Amino acid sequence: MFLVQNRGIFPKLWLEVVDDSTLPGHRASHVVPWLNFHASYRWYVETICQVRGEFRLGSLSVGSGDPFGLFLLRRSLAATSRLIVYPAMVPVVKLTIPAGVLTGGEHQRQRAHVITTNAVGVREYVVGDSLNRIHWPTTARKNQLMVKEFEIEPKVDVWLFVDFSAASLVEFPGLRRANGTGAVIHASGAFPPSSEEYAVTIAASLAQYFIDGDRSLGFAAYTPNREVLQPERGSRQMLRILEILAVARSNSQRSLAEMITLETPFIERGATLLVITSSLDPAWITEAQITARKGIRPVCVLLDPQSFGGGVPTDDVRTMLRLANIPTFLIRCGDDLTAALAQTPI
């Protein structure tokens, strides 16, 4: 809502309010008609956010003058605010990954005989308990030996690696972008034929799926800035990922193979690595095989570049992924993403 008040003692013949926001489709500029003294005028603006990104609302400038247009006066209102439009997401009902790849499950609520990261309580000391399990503050308070109890935690970390390298970007020509260089504008409500937009939507949807499943989720992407989030649970991690994906662009000069080489040494053994890419470069598959030998389980969401207007089929890369024992979800332009992610990977 916009409100203009005339606080003077003279009426205003007309006012021209010009909005300088960068949000696509946001049309808040308005011509205010005759405004008597101490009167007010308001109008409402509703804008459909058609594109992800970070935008500026404001500033405003107000102009007025005489009826003949001989004398004009314009004043600027420098107040601005920042708006982040999160990327579109689709519901992920089921993610069918072969058993043994995505390890872990629901909380088992089973007491562990060894020390784990999950301390759930204390109990009285019994003969045979290790001395390093003694909880000294409780022992001092109760004046008897008390030891910590630990619980089995079956869930391991999941990492999302999203490929935003310039070399892997494939899209139909003539797509409209926000402010010329931003994200692709969704013209008709459907996903635009761009591998970048599909990668962003899939990444956001999978992140929501894992966060809802109480998984500890890590994230890495070069957008082109290096963005790495260490594994965490909860809505705060989800908001961080959405903020990164909102402004991500496929401008990075580093390849997916380089990103895997640089970032996987910091991933713990046993974690699941989910790679989202449209790259047909076999070098990243070689790097993924190396991580597999280190105990990290790679899974690929492959965006078929040929369906986005690229000229090279994916047959060779799919064969290499199959020989490397890397489960692969093949996504084509126009696919129902919910159904495509629920299928059994090849």
pLDDT tens for each residue of 181-236: 999 998 776 789 999 999 999 999 999 999 999 889 999 999 999 999 999 999 99
Confidence of residue 8 (pLDDT cuts 50, 70, 90): confident
107 pLDDT more than 90: no
For 204, the token pair is 């956001």
Nearest of 25, 3, 8 to residue 73 by alpha carbon: 8
Q: What is the pLDDT of residue 109?
A: 46
For residues 56-69, average pLDDT: 88
With beta carbons less than 8 A apart as the criterion, state whether 274 and 189 touch.
no
**Domain annotation for the chain: domains and CATH numbers:** 2-85 (2.60.40), 111-151 (no CATH), 158-342 (3.40.50.410)
pTM for the whole structure: 0.83
Q: 């047959």: which residue's tokens? A: 315
Phi-psi region of 12 (alpha: psi -120 to 50; beta: other; left: phi over 0): beta
151 pLDDT more than 80: no
Helix residue spans in the chain (DSSP H): 136-142, 195-212, 235-247, 256-263, 282-293, 315-323, 337-342
For residues 29-34, average pLDDT: 93
301 pLDDT more than 60: yes
Nearest of 284, 272, 344, 292 to residue 320 by alpha carbon: 284
277 burial type by CB count under 10 A (0-12 exposed, 13-18 middle, 19+ buried)? buried
Confidence of residue 13 (pLDDT cuts 50, 70, 90): confident
Confidence of residue 110 (pLDDT cuts 50, 70, 90): very low
With beta carbons less than 8 A apart as the criterion, state whether 213 and 196 touch.
no
What are the φ and ψ backbone dihedral angles of 342, each rounded to 5 degrees? -85, -10
CA–CA distance, 172 with 193 (Å, rounded to integer): 6
Q: What is the side-by-side strand order in the sheet with 297-303? A: 226-232, 217-222, 158-162, 272-277, 297-303, 328-331
- Residues in the chain, overall count: 346
Widest pairwise Cα distance in the chain: 99
Of residues 75 and 121, more confidence is placed in 75
What are the φ and ψ backbone dihedral angles of 121, each rounded to 5 degrees? 170, -175
Question: What percent of the chain clears pLDDT 70, i.e. is strictly above it?
Answer: 91
For 8, the token pair is 């003077």
**If you average pLDDT over every residue of the chain, what do you get?**
89
Q: What is the pLDDT of residue 260?
A: 97
CA–CA distance, 76 with 63 (Å, rounded to integer): 9
3-state DSSP helix/strand/coil % of the chain, to nearest 5: 25, 30, 45
Q: What is the pLDDT of residue 128?
A: 81
For residues 74-86, average pLDDT: 93
CA–CA distance, 212 with 235 (Å, rounded to integer): 9
Confidence of residue 106 (pLDDT cuts 50, 70, 90): very low
